[in-house]
């Protein structure tokens, strides 16, 4: 069975020379529960950022659903839904205003309910 995420020989060195990731290898298979645990500075956020396409790796390969995050980034990103640790929206914001923050092509690829809500608002003339 093909892994949903495959990381091979992944390294990330920042411009300052700091090596955040060094030769990381892992596979996450469908149905597995996976967690990253470690102290501050261990590279957890950097790894997630590389997998999601937010940070470019220095070397190595990352596949999401069999798609390379660099050469097939659109297909890879369409399979990834990132929920940040700290939400940056106002807790008292209206649904309309919150939906307006979403990219136009993201709702259906990330979450069917959110996509339905988003397009329901568009169809009912309550545009974000």
Q: Cα-flanking dihedrals φ and ψ of residue 41, to 5°?
A: 85, 5
How many structural domains are present in the chain? 2
The length of the chain, given as a count of residues: 128
Q: pLDDT at position 47, please? A: 94
Residue 69: closest CA among 87, 89, 84, 54: 54
Q: Read off the pLDDT of residues 24-49 as tens digits, 9 standing for 90 and up.
A: 999 999 888 888 888 988 999 999 99
* Domain co-membership, 117 together with 61: no
Q: pLDDT at position 20, please? A: 95
* Domain co-membership, 65 together with 95: no
For the segment 107-118, the average pLDDT, to the nearest whole number, is 46
Q: Read off the pLDDT of residues 42-93 as tens digits, 9 standing for 90 and up.
A: 999 999 999 998 899 999 999 999 999 999 999 998 888 877 666 555 667 7
User: Is 123 in a helix, a strand, or coil?
Assistant: helix
* Domain co-membership, 57 together with 11: yes
Instruction: Give the bridge partners for 5, in sequence order.
Output: 28, 64
Domain coverage including residue 114: 86-128
What's the pTM?
0.66
Q: pLDDT at position 107, please? A: 43
* Domain co-membership, 66 together with 36: yes
Question: Where a domain ends, among 37, 60, 77?
Answer: 77
């Amino acid at each position: 069975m093909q892994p949903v995420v495959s990381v091979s020989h992944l390294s990330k060195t920042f411009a300052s020379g700091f090596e955040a990731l060094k030769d990381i290898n892992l596979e996450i298979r469908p149905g597995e529960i996976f967690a990253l645990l470690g102290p501050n500075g261990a590279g957890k956020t950097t790894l997630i950022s590389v997998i999601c396409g937010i940070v470019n790796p220095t070397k190595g390969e990352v596949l999401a659903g069999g798609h390379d995050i660099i050469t097939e980034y659109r297909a890879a990103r369409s399979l990834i839904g990132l929920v940040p640790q700290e939400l940056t929206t106002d807790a008292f914001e209206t649904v309309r205003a919150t939906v307006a923050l979403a990219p136009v092509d993201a709702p259906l690829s990330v979450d069917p309910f959110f996509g339905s809500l988003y397009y329901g608002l568009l169809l009912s003339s309550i545009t974000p």
